Amino acid sequence: MHAEDAPLATIAETHGTPCYVYSKKALTETFQRFETGLQNVDHLICFAVKANPNLGVLSVFAKLGAGFDIVSGGELARVIAAGGDPKKVVFSGVGKTAEEMRDALIAGIFCFNVESQSELVRLNQVAGEMGKVAPVSLRVNPNVDAKTHPYISTGLKNNKFGVAFEDAVAVYQQAAAMDNIDIHGVDCHIGSQITEVSPFIDALDRILSLVDQLEAENITVSHIDVGGGIGITYDDETPPAFDAYTQAILEKLNQKKVKLLFEPGRALVGNAGVLLTKVEYLKPTDSKNFAIVDAAMNDLMRPALYDAYHNIVAATPRIGETTNYEIVGPICETGDFLGHDRALNLAEGDLLVIESAGAYAMSMASNYNSRAKAAEIIVDGAQVHVVREREKISDLFTTEKRLP
Ligand code: LLP
């Protein structure tokens, strides 16, 4: 198996495992595919940094002219370090600190996606102290069911996100009366790994009715941010094609004169990366056959956290009979699994490829069990760029101290 022109086995030999490998071509082509349906439309695609904040990945999108959706001061710093344009940044998140607001105002970001009335009051105050005016959208919670995993559904009434639809007009009126707030848009984001178009259209329908209500109150918005959330194929899911999704949105907009913002994360990177891991031990027991690999839930948390499925294949498949394996890591938790019941023909030392590992994979990695974080690589043709060195054991406790 190759990433572009680079054999995965050679990458694993040279750089070790576990190791994330991304394809620059896949990143680029996926971004361009997202943009094709938007040729004649005023738009900005803001890559959701949380899906994959590696500077190498961000730099690929920055060169393609992407904007970025951030949720922390750390993500803003990464975007700037990667060569991203702060003027194309939207700042989402329910808990922005005053310091994060200041940093974003200094950087001159495109828009704050404000998620509550209290946040609006604080932003007005922080901007006032700096003699600045903050560009604002309200993230409105449209109360639609995204039909996805409950942990990643965000657009329902009982979620912590956004301003309740019923309160939105009143909060916009408050914003309009504030000296250091400038209303630019309206924003929503209903969840992640959504595999149907209809929840997006239901949400947009509500947003458009809000825009009408605002216009009646003499409040105009210059952009609508439809959020992210479009799903990918991990197993047998059939998410809408990008052009079907953007076309449905454009139809619903019905030529309304607004700039259109998108915040895709997973859809741009999820299938552009894999996690390489080596089989350390095969351990047959009475009830199960375990393949113990050198990657674990600290490297890829999605299976443990959401019971998420990632396809797992051998880099060099063996001919012959397969066995059903539990693919597990070395961490001391029963929840430390990467895949259940995978039919593979394995020997100790084999290299496995965990697919669809470009999104919410390395970005959710931890040091649990004092495991150093994996290396990250971007392949460009035959060139192999290490975009994150493997963490050293000594890195793990450089900020810690013994008691005197
Ligand atoms: N915009 C906002 C405000 C978000 O909260 C998110 C994701 C996105 C955009 C991007 O959503 P996407 O296009 O990637 O679906 N860790 C979970 C996913 C959490 C998503 C959080 N918010 C997972 O591994 O499935």
Q: For residues 224-233, give the mean pLDDT.
A: 98
Q: Residues in the chain, how many?
A: 404
Residue 10 lies inside a defined structural domain of this protein: no
Q: Which residues are catalytic?
A: 332
Do 229 and 297 lie in one domain? The reply is: no
Domain edge (last residue) among 266, 287, 306: 266
How many angstroms is it from 71 CA to the middle of ligand 1? Answer: 11
**Span 302-349, pLDDT tens digits:** 999 999 999 999 999 999 999 999 999 999 999 999 999 999 999 999
pLDDT attached to residue 244:
97
Q: Are strands 223-225 and 181-187 parallel, antiparallel or unpaired?
A: parallel
CATH value at residue 208: 3.20.20.10
The answer to whether 155 and 161 have CB atoms below 8 angstroms apart is yes
Do 387 and 327 lie in one domain? The reply is: yes
Residue 12 lies inside a defined structural domain of this protein: no
CA dihedral 168, 173, 179, 185 (to 10 degrees): 50
Q: Does 85 score more than 90 pLDDT?
A: yes
Do 155 and 234 lie in one domain? The reply is: yes
CA dihedral 120, 126, 132, 134 (to 10 degrees): -20
pLDDT attached to residue 130:
98
**Span 138-174, pLDDT tens digits:** 999 988 877 777 766 666 677 788 999 999 999 999 9
Distance CA 312, CA 356 (A): 9
Q: Does 255 score more than 90 pLDDT?
A: no
Do 276 and 253 lie in one domain? The reply is: no
Residue 351 lies inside a defined structural domain of this protein: yes
CATH value at residue 324: 2.40.37.10
pLDDT attached to residue 158:
72
Binding pocket residue ranges, ligand 1, CB within 6 Å: 48, 51, 69, 92, 152, 189, 192-193, 227-230, 263-267, 302, 306, 360
pLDDT category, 52, cuts 50, 70, 90? very high
> Best of 263, 268, 300, 366 to mutate for ligand 1, by most ligand atoms within 8 A of CB?
263
Supply the pTM of this predicted model: 0.97
Q: In Å, how far are 168, 206, 207, 219, 283 from 212, measured between CA atoms?
A: 12, 10, 9, 9, 63
State the angle between helix axes of 198-216 and 242-253 in degrees (0 to 180), rounded to the nearest 10: 30
Do 252 and 367 lie in one domain? The reply is: no
**Span 21-36, pLDDT tens digits:** 999 999 999 999 999 9
Number of domains in the chain: 2
Domain extent, residue 283, equals 271-397
pLDDT attached to residue 152:
65
> Best of 49, 50, 163 to mutate for ligand 1, by most ligand atoms within 8 A of CB?
50
Do 195 and 281 lie in one domain? The reply is: no
Residue 306 lies inside a defined structural domain of this protein: yes
For 135, the enclosing helix (H) or strand (E) is: strand 134-141
Share of the chain above pLDDT 90, in %: 94
Residue 141 lies inside a defined structural domain of this protein: yes
Place of tokens 């607001």: 101
DSSP labels, 166-214: GGHHHHHHHHHT-TTEEEEEEE---BSSB--SHHHHHHHHHHHHHHHHH
